[in-house]
Amino acid sequence: MSRPFILDPLFRNLKALSGVGPRTLKHFERLINDERIFDLLAHKPIELIDRSYTPTIAEAEAGRLATIKVQVLKHTPAVRRNLPYRVRCKDDTGTLDLVFFRAYQEYMMTQYPIGEGLIVSGKIDVYRDHPQIVHPELIGDGTGEAPKIEPVYPLTQGISHKVLLKALRSALGFAPKLPEWLDPEYKKKNKWPDWNKALETLHAPQSQEDLDPNTSVRSRLAYDECLANQLTIALMRHRQKKLHGISYTTDGPLKTKLLSVLPFSLTGAQIRTLKEIDTDISSKSRMMRLLQGDVGSGKTIVAALSMMNALDSGMQAAMMAPTEILARQHYDSLKTLFEPLGIRMICLTGRNKGKERDILTGQIKNGAAQIIIGTHALFQDSIEFQNLGFAVIDEQHRFGVDQRLKLSNKGKGVDVLVMTATPIPRTLALTSYGDLDVSVLDEKPPGRKPIDTLLFTTEKIQEMIEGLKRQIEKGARIYWVCPLVEESNILDVTAAEERFQILESIFGEKVGLIHGRMKPDEKDTIMQKFMGGDLSILVATTVIEVGVNVPEATIMVIESAERFGLAQLHQLRGRVGRGGDKSYCFLLYKSPLSQTARERLSIMRETEDGFLISEKDLELRGSGDVLGTKQSGVPEFKFVDLAIHGTLLAAARDDAKLIIQKDVKLTTPRGEALRTLLYLYEGDQAIQYLQGG
């Protein structure tokens, strides 16, 4: 199916709009991140200009925004560069000066022709007892009525308020009347307007209330987008379930053996989760399951036991981690479990090159390797598995949805377990993991001690270092995390290097440095030294954020903590408190803190509950930032703000489920309209799922 023709005008290039030429086009693209008319229509007003005060010149009060009908009398160009250009105007009651800096006479004459009637608008100033407006807006030619209230939009360099308004008015003219895809009852209950009307009203706010994200207009537009998103996910899910999965045993010899040699007993949550996984695995349809569990909740062993099912059925299992360090760490810790059972496993990362890599990939292909641990290297096209049956993806938020699919496509109907330690607020989970079933490890293994979290301003750093000295004498091991500087790896590293030098001058060779630009084996060496206790302080960039396990580490110092997301702080803090000893987390910040930053950091002090933290983070920062946007797989919405429209999203999910039940091919009249909706928001992508289904 190709694009419904009714959408054509919305998909046209902005060039089609009046006032948009090749030069402004570039600026527009920067402003709205796209170039279609629909994208411009989704650019929402954020403010109003109230031009309803329309006095005569004599009545106009200083300081007020006035809109006045005038006639141009004369131009007085600037006599020197820094002096203004003046255009004197009049009405029946007096005269008014329009004042411009850096204006060109030729242009001014075309805009304000002498003798012409005009409507100008701006704040009234009084200069030497005479009223004037500095840089007025030229509203109209004096014949028509000026709009009394004007929307104001976010702008960018090269696009003025006026140019944007003009383009938007022109864009509204392109908006077609689309068929209704909403359930009529639901629409009526919410008193929502038609799509077309909603767009028009969106761009013609009459009062401050109209800018609220919960107006019927904005809710409807947001709901549409939620529905498109959830329907796409539902279609994708429907299709994946239909793909033939592998049904295999869940109580084979290897699994039984592994269970019997575990050095601890499983938590209730681990047992429950394993049951959920077993049910999926023994069924014919393919498993797509998300395992959410806070740091330290014991996800790895759940993955390990699940992988045994595949091996017991004569298939391979793979586990993919986002970094080299993590992959190696999983490999090392799983090896101690698996090797005694006679399981053959390998680790493949970007580090393996040439001949070594050929040997490893050979073992993957001929089945000599039963368990394959690795990084992104695993889903490269050149990697072939003999018979991959089960894939685990650790710390999913570091991978995109397509990477998830890529790995699972390495076999036929591969069962997939996605694991994440980033607690995801429910609303976000619906959008980025909506195609997955969810298991939650909401119980930690026994014996964990709470971590004390303390806030320090950077001015107190010396005091804190004194305290660390005493701890180091007692044998403490400390992580010291330096923040990402402006998203730049290089600056990032510089900050860490500087801190390293300072600490080295105090603590000597007990300090180590690790960052993302080091070679893998350099990183390994440092990590080994820290694990073994040769190093007391490990200065790091955020490379240690995920997964690293050094139970002896008890102190986490995070510099410029106010720059991190809460979820990230929570992850980092989770690196300590893993052994039997009491642990601490020091959050260093630069004062003064903004109100939000203060609130965020105090949440860290108050709770260790990752879910609570992520909900708060969503509330305080909005969805975009919670998972670190781009890599998170959370779609970029036009009308939806997940922090606000969560209930709409949940309703859309239920709506989508019903639609799939009743009309999976979308052939009823409502189904036809929904196709238009899907195409509008999801483009070809969603339509593909339709065809496949």
Is there binding between residue 306 and ligand ADP (CB under 6 A)? no
Nearer to ligand ADP, 350 or 551 (CB): 551
642 in contact with ligand ADP (CB under 6 A): no
445 binds, among Mg ion, ligand ADP, none (CB under 5 to 8 A by kind): ligand ADP
Residue 121's nearest CA partner among 105, 133, 109 is: 133
- What are the distances in angstroms from CA 294 to CA 60, 334, 540, 570, 574? 63, 20, 22, 9, 9
Provide, rounded to whole angstroms, the least separation between the CB of residue 575 and ligand ADP. Answer: 10
Residue 270 or 363: which CB sits closer to ligand ADP? 270
Q: Which of 131, 296, 425, 565 binds ligand ADP (CB under 6 A)?
A: 296
From candidates 267, 306, 363, 408, binder to ligand ADP by CB under 6 A: 267
What is the C-alpha to C-alpha distance for residues 175 and 558, in angstroms, rounded to an integer? 51
| Chain residues in the site for Mg ion (CB under 5 A) | 547
- Least separation in angstroms between CB 274 and ligand ADP: 11
On the question of a cis peptide bond just before residue 592, with omega within 30 degrees of 0, the verdict is yes
Question: Tokens in use for 476?
Answer: 């403490």
Query: Is residue 375 a contact point for ligand ADP (CB under 6 A)?
Result: no
Residue 72 touches which member of Mg ion, ligand ADP, none, C-beta under 5-8 Å by kind: none
Q: Which of residues 500-519 bind ligand ADP (CB under 6 A)?
A: none
State the binding partner of 295 from Mg ion, ligand ADP, none, CB within 5 to 8 A by kind. ligand ADP
Contact between 579 and ligand ADP by CB under 6 A: the answer reads no
Among 207, 212, 264, 314, binds ligand ADP (CB under 6 A): 264
| x-or-dash string of contact with ligand ADP, 424-453, rule CB under 6 A | ---------------------x--------
Of the pair 303, 513, the CB lying nearest ligand ADP is at 303
> For the stretch 34-61, what's the b/e string if a residue is b when 16 or more beta carbons lie within 10 angstroms of its beta carbon?
ebbbbbbbbbbbeebbebebbeebeebe
Q: In terms of CB distance, is 300 or 632 closer to ligand ADP? A: 300
Contacts with 84 (C-beta within 8 Å, 6 or more apart), sequence order? 78, 99, 100, 101, 103, 134
- Gap between the Cα atoms of 587 and 582, Å rounded: 17
Residue 438 DSSP SS3: strand
Structure tokens at 351: 């580090």
Range in contact with ligand ADP (rule: CB under 6 A) among 77-85, 261-269, 646-654, 664-672:
261-269
The nearer residue to ligand ADP, 137 or 324, going by C-beta atoms, is 324
Q: How far is the CB of 321 from ligand ADP (least distance, A)?
A: 10
- What's the CA dihedral at 505, 511, 514, 520 to 10 degrees? 120
Quick one: which of 299, 376, 397, 645 contacts ligand ADP (CB under 6 A)?
A: 299
Long-range (24+ apart) CB contacts under 8 A made by 626-630 are 626/425, 626/428, 626/565, 626/567, 627/397, 627/422, 627/424, 627/428, 627/432, 627/565, 627/567, 628/397, 628/565, 628/567, 628/568
Burial class (CB in 10 A: 0-12, 13-18, 19+), 265: exposed
User: Which residue's C-beta sits nearest to ligand ADP?
Assistant: 298
DSSP-derived 3-state class of residue 495 = helix
Kind and range of the H or E run holding 216: helix 216-242
Q: Which of residues 539-558 bind ligand ADP (CB under 6 A)?
A: 549
Q: In the bound complex, which residue of the shown chain has the CB atom lying closest to Mg ion?
A: 547
Smallest gap from residue 571 Cβ to ligand ADP (A): 9
Beta strands in 11-59 (DSSP E): 47-50
- CB of residue 446 vs ligand ADP: minimum separation in angstroms? 6
Long-range contacts of the stretch 376-383 (C-beta < 8 A, 24+) = 376/320, 376/322, 376/350, 376/403, 377/348, 377/349, 377/350, 377/352, 378/318, 378/320, 378/348, 378/407, 378/410, 379/320, 379/403, 379/406, 379/407, 379/410, 383/348, 383/410
Q: Does residue number 49 form part of the binding site for ligand ADP (CB under 6 A)?
A: no
Q: Which does 296 bind (CB under 5 to 8 A by kind): ligand ADP, Mg ion, none?
A: ligand ADP
Binding-residue total with ligand ADP (CB under 6 A): 15
Length of the chain: 693
293 binding partner (options ligand ADP, Mg ion, none; Cβ < 5 to 8 Å by kind):
ligand ADP
Residue 290 contacts ligand ADP per CB under 6 A: no
Pick from 230, 240, 297, 323: which binds ligand ADP (CB under 6 A)? 297
Q: Which among Mg ion, ligand ADP, none contacts residue 549 (Cβ within 5 to 8 A by kind)?
A: ligand ADP
| 266 is an interface residue for ligand ADP by CB under 6 A | yes
Amino acid at 663: D
**Closer residue to Mg ion in complex, CB, 298/646:** 298
Indicate the residue among 300 and 396 with the shorter CB distance to ligand ADP.
300
What letter represents residue 558's amino acid?
I
Listed ranges 104-112, 289-297, 349-357, 610-618: which one lies at the site for ligand ADP (CB under 6 A)? 289-297
Angle, in degrees to the nearest 10, between helices 324-338 and 253-261: 90
Q: Is 8 helix (H, G, I), strand (E, B) or coil?
A: helix
8 Å CB contact between 417 and 391: yes
Task: Verify binding: residue 127, ligand ADP, rule CB under 6 A.
Answer: no
Q: Which stretch binds ligand ADP (CB under 6 A): 127-135, 260-268, 273-281, 477-485?
A: 260-268
Q: Between residues 84 and 547, which has the closer beta carbon with respect to Mg ion? A: 547
CB of 549 vs ligand ADP, minimal distance in Å: 5
CB 421, min distance to ligand ADP, A = 5
Q: If binding is defined by CB under 6 A, does position 315 make contact with ligand ADP?
A: no
Told to check if 421 binds ligand ADP by CB under 6 A, we report yes
CA distances from 167 to 172, 192, 586 (A): 9, 26, 51
Q: Name which of 305 and 680 has its Cβ closer to ligand ADP.
A: 305
Interface with ligand ADP, residue 408, by CB under 6 A: no
Q: Report how far residue 311's alpha carbon sits from residue 350's, in angstroms, rounded to the nearest whole number.
A: 25
Q: Which of 465, 469, 476, 481 is nearest to 554 (CA)?
A: 476
To 10 degrees, what angle do helices 684-692 and 216-242 make?
40
* Helix 299-312 vs helix 268-282: crossing angle, to nearest 10: 30
Q: Which does 289 bind (CB under 5 to 8 A by kind): ligand ADP, Mg ion, none?
A: none
User: Is 645 a binder of ligand ADP (CB under 6 A)?
Assistant: no
* Site for ligand ADP, rule CB under 6 A: 264, 266-267, 270, 293, 295-301, 421, 445, 549
